[in-house]
Structures are given as structure tokens and as C-alpha cells.
């Protein structure tokens, strides 16, 4: 089985290691713009050089991409920022009749991906989108809870990202693109627009060492995909915050600057792309953060009925963002290779992944804690 990994940042490196250690992959090709740099980044892994191959691949120039994809059994898209490359990769994979799993967590990109659903089905291709931590793990936890209920009435997902574990430039660009403007949420079975990090303030108790934090609506795709999977649910929302919360305000301020910059900003060294400038500012601010845990946290709450009784099922998890994002993508790729994902089309994790199989894989890695509560109400 030949696997193509797109991107070799923090999430991609974790996914590569997991595919070798747990995924049964014997040959992984890493497609990046600068192969030598990627090879140096992976020198720490101890993986056999015979198992890894590096090739120059620029997703900004998609000509011939489908032909290149056709030699692989699965494509794992960890190239960021997501909003730049998800559509390009999905279109090439569909044309090449190759399954793909990605980390997309931009709601606008999710809506655009759904426009490719029929083309993916016609090609017999599964495009599993948003298989990271959030979206990803939390969507699968929603499915696990829903499987225990006869009716689903409310779905609430929430998450905390530690500024002390900020990832790289691509992640900072994604955060500014998706979390600094409007967001979508479902109220009374209607999708409505709200403002990220402004609306829907709610105090949530996360697992230690994170503890209680205020969260807000954010521009993630969970309300879109989960409301499609569970159309009977009256409420579907996704809320989040950074730890510490001042990063929320910084994202809003820098995002507004990008939107009003007309493409570039003037610096002491000359004009710079506004998004690059803002992402660098955000990343540097996060790197200066001290005194907060590096763990991120997830919480999923699903309310519904079991028989005649009302029941709340709550899952809470905690762990590092790199493991919590890269490893789910690797597990998804393994499931595709093993034939455990049989649906085709544009698929969210809750549409196509068996929660028991997936959570067993996650728990076997020992990368974080997961707790469950069942509360009659």
C-alpha cells in the first residue's frame, strides 16, 4: 500500500510516525515544496530511510496533481493552511479515483467541499474531511453518544487550545481566516450567523489541568456537518477559547487588520502580505505565553431520549494538539486502507467512522485522557 502525505509540519510529522508505528504502512511518500527541509524535520523520528520518500510538490501549482495522485492508495492532506489547499486536493483525488483524508476545519471550505459530493460518489472516492481533534474526535464522540440514544435533541461541542502549544505559521493563518469573523450555529433547527469570540459566552468545566473556562461560538464546521447528520437536533453549536483568553481578542484584531489591508501591509523592510504579517504576529504572541498548561481540551455534550427518559451524555478529553490532530488523520487513513470506511462522497467523520473502532485506536496510543458521564435529566 502506497500512502502520500501532503505537508510535513507538526501535524504531518505526527501522522507519519503513527502510520508507520500503528498503521501498517510500509511506504510513505512525503509531498512538500522543500523536500530537503522536510527530510531534516523527520530526522528525529528514527524511521528507516527506506520507508520514506520525499518529493517536490507545490499545491499552488495543481497542474498534473491528479496524475501524481493516481499512483497512491490514499492521500493524507496535512498541508496548511487548510483554506488554501483543501479544494485543490479533493478535486485532484476525485479525478485520480484515490481516497483522501484531511484536517479541514474551516466552515467556508466545508460548504465548498460539499459541492463536490456527487463527483466524489461518481468516482467511487471517499473524501473524509475534518479528521483532526476539532473537528474530528469531537464529531466521533457525538456519534458515539448518539448511538446510545433513541432521539437526539441538542449537540454541544467545545474546545480549548493552549497558546503555549501554537503550532506553526500555517495554523496561525488558519486561525485568523476562520476564527476572526462570522460563525454559524444551529438554533431551533435553523442555521444562523453569529460572531466568533463574541457571541454565545458560556462557562464550561474542562478536565484538569485546564479547568473551567468561558467559551464562545467560533467559525468551525461542526454545526454544519453535525446538523446534516442529525437533522432532528434543535441545537447544534461549537464553542471555543484560547488559554489564555487574551489570544481570542488578538485573533479578532489581527483578522480585522487583514480584511482591511487590501492584500499587503507596509513594514520597515517593505510591503508584506497582510496574512503572513498577521500570522507571524499571532505566532510570536503565542510563543511568549507562559504559565498555562500546554494541554488542549475537548468536551462533547449530547442531550436526547433513551426510551421515555431524558439523558445527557458527556465526553471530556484532554491532550496535546499535535497528537490530537495528527493521529486521528493517521487512523482515518488506516481505516481507508483497511476497507473500514465503505461510504463514498464528501464525508464528515460522524458520517463514516465507527466510534468504537476509532476510539479503541486512540486509547491504545495512550496520548490523553477521556472521561464519560451519563446524567439523567
Give the list of residues 6+ apart from residue 49 with CB closer than 8 angstroms, or none.
Answer: none
> Which CATH code, of 3.40.50.11540, 3.40.50.720, 1.10.760.10, 3.40.50.920, is assigned to 2-132+322-366?
3.40.50.720
Q: Name the residue ranges covered by the structural domains of the chain.
A: 2-132+322-366, 137-320
User: CA neighbours within 13 Å on the CB side: how many for 346?
Assistant: 21
Is 60 in contact with 34 (CB distance < 8 Å)? no
- In angstroms, the Cα distances linking 372 to 207, 294, 300, 301 are 11, 23, 10, 10
**Cα–Cα nearest to 350, from 212, 190, 219, 233:** 233
What pLDDT does 249 receive? Answer: 98
Residues 182 and 194: beta-carbon distance below 8 Å: yes
For the entire predicted model, the pTM comes to: 0.95
Q: Please give the pLDDT value at position 20.
A: 87
Q: Please name the residue that has the C-alpha cell 487548510.
A: 82
**Residue labelled with grid coordinates 477559547:** 241
Beta-sheet strands, E only, within the chain: 2-6, 27-32, 52-56, 74-77, 99-102, 126-128, 151-162, 182-187, 190-195, 202-205, 212-217, 235-243, 264-267, 270-273, 296-306, 309-319, 345-347, 368-376
Q: What is the pLDDT of residue 107?
A: 95
**In the 8-state DSSP scheme, what is residue 341?**
-
- Kindly report the number of other CB atoms within 10 A of residue 30's CB atom: 25
Strands 190-195 and 270-273: what pairing?
unpaired
pLDDT along the chain (377 residues), means of 10: 90 91 85 87 62 89 92 94 94 97 96 98 98 97 98 98 92 95 97 98 97 98 98 98 98 95 87 94 96 96 97 96 93 96 98 96 86 94
Q: Which residues have C-beta within 8 Å of that of residue 362, sequence separation ≥ 6?
A: 137, 327, 328, 331, 370
CATH topology for 137-320 is Dihydrodipicolinate Reductase; domain 2 (3.30.360)
Q: Which of 361, 363, 342 is nearest to 351 (CA)?
A: 342
Q: What pLDDT is recorded for position 22?
A: 87
Distance CA 149, CA 30 (A): 42
pLDDT of residue 311: 98
**Structural contact between residues 236 and 223, judged by C-beta atoms closer than 8 angstroms:** yes
Amino acid at each position: 500500500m502506497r500512502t502520500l502525505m501532503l505537508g510535513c509540519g507538526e501535524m504531518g510529522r505526527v501522522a507519519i510516525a503513527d502510520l508507520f508505528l500503528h498503521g501498517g504502512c510500509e511506504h510513505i511518500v512525503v509531498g512538500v515544496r522543500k523536500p530537503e527541509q522536510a527530510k531534516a524535520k523527520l530526522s528525529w523520528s528514527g524511521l528507516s530511510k527506506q520507508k520514506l520518500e520525499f518529493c517536490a510538490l507545490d499545491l499552488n501549482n495543481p497542474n498534473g496533481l491528479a496524475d501524481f495522485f493516481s499512483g497512491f492508495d490514499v492521500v493524507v492532506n496535512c498541508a496548511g493552511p487548510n483554506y488554501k489547499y483543501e479544494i485543490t486536493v479533493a478535486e485532484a483525488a476525485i479525478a485520480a479515483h484515490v481516497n483522501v483524508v484531511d484536517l479541514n476545519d474551516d466552515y467556508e471550505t466545508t460548504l465548498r467541499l460539499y459541492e463536490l459530493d456527487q463527483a466524489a460518489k461518481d468516482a467511487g472516492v471517499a473524501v473524509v474531511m475534518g479528521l483532526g481533534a476539532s473537528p474530528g474526535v469531537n464529531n466521533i464522540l457525538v456519534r458515539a453518544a448518539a448511538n446510545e440514544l433513541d432521539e437526539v435533541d441538542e449537540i454541544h461541542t467545545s474546545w480549548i487550545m493552549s497558546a503555549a502549544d501554537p503550532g506553526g505559521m500555517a495554523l496561525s493563518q488558519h486561525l485568523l481566516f476562520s476564527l476572526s469573523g462570522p460563525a454559524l450555529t444551529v438554533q431551533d433547527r435553523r442555521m444562523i450567523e453569529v460572531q466568533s469570540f463574541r457571541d454565545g459566552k458560556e462557562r464550561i468545566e474542562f478536565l484538569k489541568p485546564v479547568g473551567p473556562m468561558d467559551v464562545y461560538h467560533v467559525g468551525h464546521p461542526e454545526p454544519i456537518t453535525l446538523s446534516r447528520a442529525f437533522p432532528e437536533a434543535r441545537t447544534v453549536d461549537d464553542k471555543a477559547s484560547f488559554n489564555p483568553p487574551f489570544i481570542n481578542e488578538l485573533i479578532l484584531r489581527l483578522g480585522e487588520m487583514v480584511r482591511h489591508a487590501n492584500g499587503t501591509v507596509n513594514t520597515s523592510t517593505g510591503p508584506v502580505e497582510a496574512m503572513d504579517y498577521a500570522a507571524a504576529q499571532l505566532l510570536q504572541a503565542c510563543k511568549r505565553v507562559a504559565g498555562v498548561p500546554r494541554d488542549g481540551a475537548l468536551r462533547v455534550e449530547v442531550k436526547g431520549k433513551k426510551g421515555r427518559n431524558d439523558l445527557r451524555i458527556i465526553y471530556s478529553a484532554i491532550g496535546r494538539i499535535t497528537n490530537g490532530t495528527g493521529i486521528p488523520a493517521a487512523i482515518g487513513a488506516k481505516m481507508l486502507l483497511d476497507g473500514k470506511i465503505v461510504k463514498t462522497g464528501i464525508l464528515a467523520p460522524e458520517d463514516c467512522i465507527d466510534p468504537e473502532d476509532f476510539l479503541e485506536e486512540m486509547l491504545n496510543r495512550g496520548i490523553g485522557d477521556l472521561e464519560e458521564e451519563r446524567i439523567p435529566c
